[in-house]
């Protein structure tokens, strides 16, 4: 059968004339189908913007149990499709297709009951990671490549995300190097979080079946184990992190999780592109999940949202008291243990605090207990709720993110738009998106602190609360400046497009690049 040229989207932005590429996203999550964190937001949003620019972009994710076939109109398009798993042998999957809602982007779902048919979290159950996460995501990665062959789809670029799919670039340089459809594909590995690396036992090499010679320090070997992220960092054509600051931080011991050496080696191929915000979802002027809509030119109805939030969390309905909000995975990364050391001092002020999140069990108990300790002043919901996340952004005066590290962070960008002044630690994407308030000039969009300590949280939040009570006009200026800021996906998608082109050129060379896109 002939190789069918990839279909191109007809929708183009007018002034946009750069070459149109075929781009395959391979990832472990994508909104609205399955999400545990910001990774899912990025994978479910960026492709829509690339599609609108005229690229043929498609997504591969697992068909988790929670992906409702009827609701999203999934149709089976292939199967049984064989996926070689080395010593385990051939394993089989079915493939379903749907469209990313609100766009024409095809999404392919890899269905394999044993791996993905679990009624649980995507990676764990009751806080315990699945013991077969190695096989689950190696299977997904290899299935995505097999699917390209099945569909005769020839991607110019395969864009992979974090450790789950970091093995794809390794496969393309080994087992698939001479596949006519795939050997030329460039790869971009986006680092959303270096902490999680897919660090597994040595024997995983026999499942990968790419040759033992790749088990070496400049390949997959990492302290005697098989590290999938490390393999991807060495093999991907290009790399990027989800903010400029994080792309620098991960080259240093404080943030490199022991992989700084690889990143320093690949420094000239490592970029930083800030995530965008989906303003169709997150805009107080149009948001349907909040009690009233408001804008920077008329903030009066934000008070209705504040009252609604106070009601929702059973707080005293006092308009004059500052509400500090937080929406977060309750894990060490987010600095919640540091917050735990600061919260009693903060609650000694006349403030209210609202927290939404889930994660480590100790934190569930600790923060739930604060509701009875500070009735009417501390509100907490342990769990996941998108409507509540919107209400907190709209109803809060301040939004706290004391992260130990934050590759990008989305909530501080939502907060700016909603006029909930961010108070953040100056790391990663938080540093890139929030401008510290300058008392001399009156400039700034939020408050930043450097040290990961309770004292720093208390000091900076205390300063913000002081301004709220004593110099409200300063806070109002910060709110308005923040609301005017935009972190659009259009801007970030343009940067990704440049990176894809650079990657393709690097993979196939200038001459073939010119031939391909003439
Ligand atoms: P991370 O991916 O590290 O968790 P991000 O800030 O990039 O951090 O993204 C977190 C996303 O998940 C945001 O869209 C945020 O609103 C959402 N989120 C996190 N926890 C919850 C929760 N408990 N309920 C609702 N949304 C949540
Ligand atoms: C990760 C990071 C977060 C980032 C998100 C999306 O989950 O922890 O900071 O915003 O990925 O890139």
Q: What is the pTM of this model?
A: 0.94
Ligand 2 centre distance from Cα of residue 231 (Å): 21
192 lines ligand 2 (CB under 6 A): yes
Q: Looking at the domain 302-484, which fold is it?
A: Rossmann fold (3.40.50)
**pLDDT tens track for 347-391:** 999 999 999 999 999 999 999 999 999 999 999 999 999 999 999
Cβ < 6 A, ligand 1 pocket? 37-39, 41, 327-329, 356-358, 384-386, 389, 408-411
| Average pLDDT of the segment spanning 184-211 | 98
User: Which atom from ligand 2 is nearest to the alpha carbon of 37?
Assistant: 7
Taking each helix axis from N to C end, the angle separating 454-470 and 472-484, rounded to the nearest 10 degrees, works out to 110
Taking each helix axis from N to C end, the angle separating 386-395 and 411-418, rounded to the nearest 10 degrees, works out to 50
Q: Residue 210: pLDDT above 60?
A: yes
**pLDDT tens track for 285-322:** 999 999 999 999 999 999 999 999 999 999 999 999 99
Ligand 1 centre distance from Cα of residue 506 (Å): 35
Residue nearest to atom 19 of ligand 1 (CA): 328
Residue nearest to atom 12 of ligand 1 (CA): 37
Tokens of 515: 């031939």
Q: Do domains 22-124+132-275+489-516 and 302-484 have the same CATH topology?
A: yes
**pLDDT tens track for 227-248:** 999 999 999 999 999 999 999 9
To test the ligand 2 pocket, which listed residue (122, 123, 193) has its Cβ within 8 A of the most ligand atoms? 193
Ligand 1 centre distance from Cα of residue 325 (Å): 13
Q: Residue 482: pLDDT above 70?
A: yes
DSSP class per residue in 153-222: ---SEEEEETGGGTHHHHHHHTTTTT-TTTTT-EEEEEES-SS---EE-TTHHHHHTS-GGG-STTTTEE
| Average pLDDT of the segment spanning 182-197 | 97
247 lines ligand 2 (CB under 6 A): no
CATH homologous superfamily, domain 22-124+132-275+489-516 = Glycogen Phosphorylase B; (3.40.50.2000)
Q: What angle do CA 493, 419, 433 make, to 5 degrees?
A: 40
The domain locations on the chain are 22-124+132-275+489-516, 302-484
Name the closest ligand to CA 163.
2
Q: What is the pLDDT of residue 18?
A: 85
């Amino acid at each position: 059968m002939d190789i069918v040229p990839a279909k191109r989207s007809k929708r183009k932005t007018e002034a946009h004339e750069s070459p149109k590429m075929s781009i395959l996203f391979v990832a472990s999550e994508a909104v609205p189908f399955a999400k545990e964190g910001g990774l899912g937001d990025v994978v479910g949003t960026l492709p829509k913007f690339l599609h609108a620019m005229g690229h043929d972009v498609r997504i591969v994710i697992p068909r988790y149990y929670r992906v409702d076939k009827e609701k999203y109109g999934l149709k089976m398009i292939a199967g049984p499709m064989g996926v070689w798993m080395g010593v385990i042998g051939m394993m089989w999957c079915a493939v379903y297709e749907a469209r990313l809602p609100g766009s024409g982007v095809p999404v392919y779902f890899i269905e394999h009951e044993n791996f993905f048919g679990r009624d649980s979290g995507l990676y764990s159950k009751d806080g315990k990671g699945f013991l077969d996460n190695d096989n689950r995501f190696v299977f997904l990665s290899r299935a995505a490549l097999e699917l390209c062959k099945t569909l005769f789809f020839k991607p110019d670029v395969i864009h992979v995300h974090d450790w789950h799919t970091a093995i794809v670039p390794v496969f393309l340089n080994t087992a698939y190097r001479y596949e006519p459809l795939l050997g030329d594909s460039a790869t971009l590995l986006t680092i959303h979080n270096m902490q999680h690396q897919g660090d597994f036992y040595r024997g995983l090499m026999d499942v990968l079946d790419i040759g033992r010679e790749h088990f070496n320090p400049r390949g997959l070997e990492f302290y005697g184990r098989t590290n999938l992220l490390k393999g991807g960092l060495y093999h991907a054509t290009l790399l990027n992190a989800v903010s400029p600051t994080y792309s620098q931080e991960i080259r240093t011991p404080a943030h490199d999780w022991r992989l700084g050496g690889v990143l320093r080696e690949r420094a000239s191929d490592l970029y930083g592109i800030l995530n965008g915000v989906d303003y169709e979802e997150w805009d107080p002027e149009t948001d349907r999940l909040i009690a009233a809509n408001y804008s920077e030119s008329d903030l009066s109805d934000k008070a209705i949202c504040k009252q609604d939030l106070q009601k929702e969390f059973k707080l005293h309905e006092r308009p004059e008291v500052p509400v500090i909000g937080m929406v977060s995975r309750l894990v060490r990364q987010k600095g919640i243990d540091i917050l735990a050391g600061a919260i009693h001092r903060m609650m000694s002020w006349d403030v209210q605090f609202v927290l939404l999140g889930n994660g480590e069990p100790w934190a569930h108990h600790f923060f739930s207990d604060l509701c009875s300790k500070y009735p009417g002043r501390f509100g907490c919901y342990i769990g996941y709720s998108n409507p509540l996340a919107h209400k907190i952004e709209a109803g809060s005066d301040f939004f706290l993110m004391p992260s130990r590290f934050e590759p990008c962070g989305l909530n501080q960008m939502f907060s700016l738009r909603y006029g909930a002044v961010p108070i953040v630690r100056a790391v990663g994407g938080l540093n890139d998106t929030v401008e510290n308030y300058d008392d001399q000039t009156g400039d700034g969009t939020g408050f930043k602190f450097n040290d990961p300590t309770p004292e720093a949280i208390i000091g900076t939040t205390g300063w913000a609360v002081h301004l709220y009570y004593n110099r409200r006009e300063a806070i109002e200026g910060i709110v308005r400046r923040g609301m005017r800021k935009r972190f659009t996906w259009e801007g970030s998608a343009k940067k990704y497009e440049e990176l894809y082109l650079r990657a393709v050129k690097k993979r196939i060379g200038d001459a073939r690049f010119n031939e391909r896109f003439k």
